[in-house]
Structure formats: structure tokens, C-alpha cells
Structure 1
Amino acid sequence: MTESWVIVGEASSPVPPEAAAHALRARLDAGHGETWLTSANGRSLGLVTNGERALVMLLADEDDPGEHAVDPGAGGVGDGYVLANGQRDRYPDEDTVPLAEAYRLVEHVLRTGDWPLGAPRAVDR
């Protein structure tokens, strides 16, 4: 059975993988640059975006440093990543991915429970 994922702080209905990008876009349009989803198995999937790029993280549990998607060779540093608590962060572009890729990664994790094959990521454990 596939894991079900819900957006933290919203209705408890699971987010279907095919609706993930739409749900994330709607949250961004409403001013929420940070979104966390949790699975019934206790895993967390986080996305923080500045509207152009996103940091996408997958954690096994609340104590896990997890892993995050990367864009090897991307240069520069992006700012404007606003966390739910109002903190504004900057991340190296190599630690983020273009927003369209972030949506694809989230959809794949919701569908399969894991990163797509070949998707570069850094393990932070």
C-alpha cells in the first residue's frame, strides 16, 4: 500500500500525487513559501521556495536530518526563501532546484515513496 501524505496545518485529506503541484502552487499564491507534508508512516517532505527555486527535503522522522534535492553545478545564491515563522533564508543554488523540478520531485515521492531514479540529492545524515 502506498503512503498517504497530508499538508501540515491543512485539512486532513491526503494529497493525491497528481494534485501535489496544484496544492503547492495554491499555497505559494496564498503567501506560503514553506510547506510540509507528513505521511502516515511518520515521514516528512518539505518544500521551501522563493517562487523560482525550491529546497526539497525528505526526512524519515522528526529527528532525521534527512536528504535534499540538489542541482549540481548550479552557481550563485538565491534569497527570498520565507519560512513559516517569517525568517528569510538564502540557499546556494546547488542546494535547490527549479520550481517545476521541485513539483515533479514532490509528486514522485507522493506517488512512490522515494526520489525518482537519477534525481541528484545530498544525504544530510
Structure 2
Amino acid sequence: MSETWMVVGSQGALVSSEAALEVLRVRVDGGLFETWFASSAGRSLGFVTNNQRALVMLLDGEGGPGEYAVESGAPGSSEGFVLSNGQHDTYPNEDTVPIGEAFAIVSHIIGRGSWPSDARWVADR
């Protein structure tokens, strides 16, 4: 059986890679800038955006090590990353990616279970 994904907090409906992108767009357009997906394999995929850049995290399990997308050498930092608990965060740009790239990464991970071959990411192990 292949890994399946659902939006955390949803009614358990499974999402395809295409549906996940639509979920992200609707949530961001509605002012919800943090979204988590849970997989049948126990992994979590997090997406937090400020509408220009996004932090994309893939975690092995609750409390487990994870990986996140990076843009190595990107200068500066960006603010406006609003978490679901109301916290406003600022991240170094090198620890985030442009939002279009983030959408592609999320779609690929949900569709294929792995990072895209052209994505750059760092492991927190």
C-alpha cells in the first residue's frame, strides 16, 4: 500500500498532490498561513508561508527528526509567517523557499513520498 496524506484537522479526507495545492491556496487566500499534512506512514509535512516565501518541513514522526527545504545563500530574512496559534515568526531566507517552489515541493512529496530531485533540503538529525 502506498503512503496516503490528509490535512491535519480535516475530517480525514485523503488528499492527492493536486488537491493539496488547492487546499494550500484556499487556506492562504483565507488568511491561514500554516498547514500540516499527516501521512499513513506517520510522517508530517508542514507548510508555513508569508505569501512570498514558505517554510516546508518533512518530519519522520511526532517528535522525530525532520528535514526542511532551503535556498542556500539567500540573503536576509522575511517576516510575516503567522502560525495557527497567532505567533508571528521571522525566518532567514536561506531556511525558506519562494512560495511557487514550496507548492511544487509539497505536491511532489504528497504525490511521490520524497523530495523532488532538484530541491535543496537540510536534515535536522
AA of the residue aligned to 2:95 = D
Is residue 68 from structure 1 mapped to residue 68 from structure 2 by the alignment? yes
- Contact 1:2–1:111 at 8 Å: present in 2 too? no
Match of 2:10 in 1: 10
Question: Post-superposition shift, 1:41?
Answer: 1.1
> Can you list the C-alpha shifts for 1:17-54, whole angstroms capped at 9, x where unaligned?
12221110101111111000000111000000000000
Task: Give the AA of the match of 1:13.
Answer: A
TM-score between the two structures when normalised by the length of structure 1: 0.96
RMSD across aligned positions (CA): 0.9
Bigger shift: residues 10-19 or 52-61: 10-19
Structure 1 moving runs of 4+ over 2 Å:
none
Name 2:121's counterpart in structure 1: 121
Structure 2: give runs of 5+ residues left out of the alignment.
none
Q: Distance in 2 between matches of 1:65 and 1:76?
A: 26
Match in the other structure for 1:27? 27
Question: What amino acid maps onto 1:82 in structure 2?
Answer: V
- Higher deviation after alignment, 3-12 or 35-44: 3-12
Q: Which residue of 2 aligns with 1:45?
A: 45
Q: Distance in 1 between matches of 2:39 and 2:8?
A: 10
In structure 2, give the amino acid aligned to 1:15. V
**Take 2:68 and 2:47, find their aligned partners in 1: how far apart are those partners?**
10
Partner of 2:109: 109
Give the Cα separation in 2 of the matches to 1:43 and 1:120.
19
